[in-house]
Amino acid sequence: MALITVSSPHTTKKGNHTGAFMRQVIYATAPGLAALTWLFGYGTLLNVCFAVLVAVGCEALFLRARGRDVSFYLSDFSAVVTALLLALAMPPTSPWWLILIGTAFAIIIAKQLYGGLGMNPFNPAMVGYVLLLISFPVEMTRWIAPHEAPALSDSIQIFLGQTNVDAFSGATPLDTMRTWAGNAEQLSNQPILHGAFAGEGWEWVNAAFLLGGLYLMWRRIITWHIPAGVLAGLTAIALPFWLFDSVRFADPLFHLFSGAAMLGAFFIATDPVSAATSRNGRLIFGALIGVLVWVIRTFGGYPDAMAFAVLLMNLAAPTIDYYTQPRTYGHKAAHRGASK
């Protein structure tokens, strides 16, 4: 009889390593990527390809500079996931240099300089996104009107920065809601606000990410706590305000299926490194992200808020973990940090 002499965690399952988990995340974004491409053209696809190239290049360069095993760390696919999530959040009209700056900053500053995967206090993809959003607000809020996707040749020209994008761009449902909040007549006249069940086009993007997220939950890559927290938090604060004044405030369904709501809830907030770790902690972490998203979307200076909300809660995650430590086996009550 052989006794196990390796250190924990004792696992016999094959493929149970970081790279396999990250690959599942990549597969799960497929429906969302397909929906974005179908509605807004090939721009997102170009963004994703270029961002992945840049991310892997920067990661390899800095792993080398830091004296780490390049192929070992590259095979955990975390750089690819970061690039993918950033590119999915970017407008499909982004020129190449925008992707280059955002991805390089995410990988180099937000990840490698902090010590690589597992050491970054903030979600790297969202750090890159926020850097771009505050530096280049015009480029970062220029979306295409749904179902008016430019042809592949146009998309390539936009990507190379050779075409004026204004011919294709249009306001998103969140932009429109911001502009006309409080004006009942205008709100009912905006076709983009009245899709099948939420904002036109965006409802399908979010539904697709929801599908991918459910797949991740089914494969047990993520637990239900953070997404449930985000969606519950967003609903809980949007519902009473909408009931109070449905002209000034958008309905919960609109919020849940607009912008980066589903992408954020299932793919971005669930980053195992920068999120809270205990079960109760994850629920609180998620719920506060949901509340912040609604607050910033409604009263803030930018149309969408997922990136800001996630980064702010990343900052709060250690505190949340401190107060939600579960009881350990053999103890009557949970120990809290250095107390006692």
Partner 1 sequence: MTDFKKITLDGLWKNNPATVQILGLCPLLAVSGSVVNALGLGLATMAVLASSNACVSLIRHYVTDAVRLPAFVMIIAALVTVIEMLMQAYTFELYEILGIFIPLIVTNCVVLGRADGFAAKNPVLPSFVDGAMMGLGFLIILLMLGALREILGQGTLFSNMQLLFGPAAQTWQITVFTDYKGFLFAVLPPGAFIGLGLIIAGKNVIDKRLKEAAKRKDAESPKASRRVRTTGNVA
Residue from 70, 74, 100, 109 touching partner 1 (CB under 8 A): that is 109
Q: How far apart, in Å, are the Cα atoms of 336 and each of 110, 272, 321? A: 29, 21, 9
Q: Provide CB contacts within 8 A for 8, sequence distance 6+.
A: none
Kindly tell me which of 131 and 177 has the beta carbon lying closer to partner 1: 131
136 binds partner 1 (CB under 8 A): yes
Kindly tell me which of 52 and 140 has the beta carbon lying closer to partner 1: 140
Q: How far apart, in Å, are the Cα atoms of 174 and each of 181, 200, 228, 305, 330? A: 10, 11, 22, 10, 51
Report, in Å, the least distance between residue 131 CB and partner 1. 6
Helix axes 18-28, 202-218, angle to 10 degrees: 150
135 binds partner 1 (CB under 8 A): yes
For residue 92, say if its preceding peptide bond is cis, omega within 30 degrees of 0. Answer: no
Kindly tell me which of 136 and 322 has the beta carbon lying closer to partner 1: 136
Q: DSSP letter at 161?
A: T
Residue from 119, 134, 167, 243 touching partner 1 (CB under 8 A): that is 134
Q: List binders of partner 1 among 203-222 (CB under 8 A).
A: none
131 binds partner 1 (CB under 8 A): yes
Report, in Å, the least distance between residue 86 CB and partner 1. 16
Using alpha carbons, select from 150, 246, 144 the residue that is nearest to residue 202.
144
Report, in Å, the least distance between residue 275 CB and partner 1. 22
Report, in Å, the least distance between residue 26 CB and partner 1. 29
Helices (H) and strands (E) counted in the chain, each on its own, are: 17, 0
Report, in Å, the least distance between residue 140 CB and partner 1. 11
- For binding to partner 1 (CB under 8 A), which residues are involved? 109, 113, 131, 134-136
